[in-house]
Amino acid sequence: MMNEPNLAQNTRNLPKGIFLIVVAFLCVAIMSAFGKAAAGLPTGPLVFFQNGISLLLFAPFILRHGSKELRTTRFGLHVVRALTGLLSQALFFIAVKKIALVDAVLLANAAPLFIPIVALVWMRTSIRPAVIASLLIGFVGVILILKPSAELLKDPAALIAISAAAFSAVALVSVNTLSSTDKSDTILFYYFLISTVATLPFACMQWQNPQGDQWMYLLGIGLFMALSQLFIILAYTHATASQIAPFNYSVVIFSGIIGWMVWNTSLDLTALFGIVLVCAGGIASIVFTGKTQAHAFTLSHSHHAQKLNGTS
């Protein structure tokens, strides 16, 4: 199982860790907004730029100690982790083009509601009654946001967003398993590498020359993805994952504000209540499931935030 980072006592600074993780998820919200703004571009180039730019920025640092960082006996699991994380991101970009930014971000980040279920099926890990209760609360919130109706089947963008969370959960359980044998640098590198290589053919097939601000959207997606990972890395140097994981939901607040400012998006009371329930259910799931899955959730939004400072 994944262990908490071993932080030196003199580097602990919980307020700074909270601040950094909130900044990280502000970057995630901005990246997501760029994805929505790039609605005129195909999904292939979006996910390619997202991962390719991050690979270019992080690879030199990851490989600073040479190729020994790439040693692994579980390449197949790296592929599973990368492809499920990649599917999650692709589904999110598809969904966010059609529904409100805050809805897409919240639904795609509902991974904590799926992690115990994936762990039950994959790892045969039992689910505590308190966790079951928290999952039920969260899924009631999801239903309130989805507003099930015949219209949902005609335009299934919200279902696509929640599917992104399910794939995210599979990716997280994969990370949990990989962390028992592989360094965090190795896991991070293979995620970016496999994702970049896997999306290159789709980027080529779907390529259309970006017009005007579309270049800025593509670069923004990649840059803010990388920045979010950097700030998560820094946050880990000051606090444990279980301490700061609940603050991941700050991305919902930031997305709501950005959606209101840029797209004049407002939410009805039912949707707002659903958001509260999903956040409450997700946070409760983190708390009741324990530190291990709290750590996994801290990695959830981008599926590949790993510490690069050698403290894992």
**Residue 209 resides in a domain:** yes
Is the pLDDT score of 312 beyond 70? no
**pLDDT of 137 higher than 90:** yes
Locate 241 and state its tokens: 């994952």
* Residue 179 domain-assigned (yes or no): yes
- pLDDT value at position 126? 87
Helix residue ranges per DSSP H, the chain: 14-37, 43-62, 75-96, 101-108, 115-123, 129-146, 150-154, 157-178, 184-205, 214-236, 241-244, 250-263, 269-289, 291-298
Residue for token pair 């946050």: 235
The tens digit of pLDDT for each residue in 189-225 reads 899 999 999 999 999 999 999 998 999 999 999 999 9
In contact, 157 and 95? CB cutoff 8 Å: yes
Number of domains the chain contains: 1
Q: Span 114-123, mean pLDDT? A: 90
Contact (Cβ atoms closer than 8 angstroms) between residue 240 and residue 291: yes
Classify residue 4: in a domain, yes or no.
no
Tokens, residue 201: 């053919």
* Predicted confidence band of residue 10 (pLDDT cuts 50, 70, 90): low
pLDDT in tens, 36-79: 999 999 999 999 999 999 999 989 888 887 777 788 999 999 99
User: Between residues 11 and 230, which one has the greater pLDDT?
Assistant: 230
pLDDT digits (tens, 9 = 90+) for 260-275: 999 998 888 898 999 9
pLDDT at residue 186 in the model: 86
With the C-alpha atoms ordered 157, 198, 21, 175, is the resulting torsion angle positive or negative? Answer: positive
Does any domain span residue 309? no
162 falls within a domain: yes
By percentage, how much of the chain surpasses pLDDT 90?
54
| CA gap 104, 70 in Å, rounded | 34
Q: Using the predicted structure, report yes or no on whether residue 309 has a pLDDT greater than 50.
A: no
> Which structural domain range is residue 290 located in?
23-298
- Answer whether residue 311 is part of any domain: no
**pLDDT of amino acid 288:** 80
Contact predicate 160/95, CB 8 Å: yes
Q: Which residue has the tokens 């197949």?
A: 76
Q: Indicate whether 310 belongs to any domain.
A: no
Asked if the model's pLDDT at residue 303 lies above 50, the reply is no
Question: In whole numbers, what is the pLDDT of the chain averaged over residues?
Answer: 85
pLDDT of residue 307: 34
Cβ burial 37-67 (10 Å sphere, 16+ → b, else e): bbeebbbbbbbbbbbbbbbebbeeebeeeee
List own/partner pairs for 196-201 with CB under 8 A and 24 or more apart.
Answer: 196/48, 196/51, 196/52, 196/55, 198/82, 198/83, 198/86, 199/44, 199/47, 199/48, 199/51, 199/52, 199/86, 200/48
Residue 41: predicted pLDDT = 95
Residue 248 confidence (pLDDT) above 70: yes
Q: Which of 248, 258, 308 is nearest to 101 (CA)?
A: 258
Q: Is residue 37 part of a domain?
A: yes
Find tokens 């790039």 and name the residue.
Answer: 38
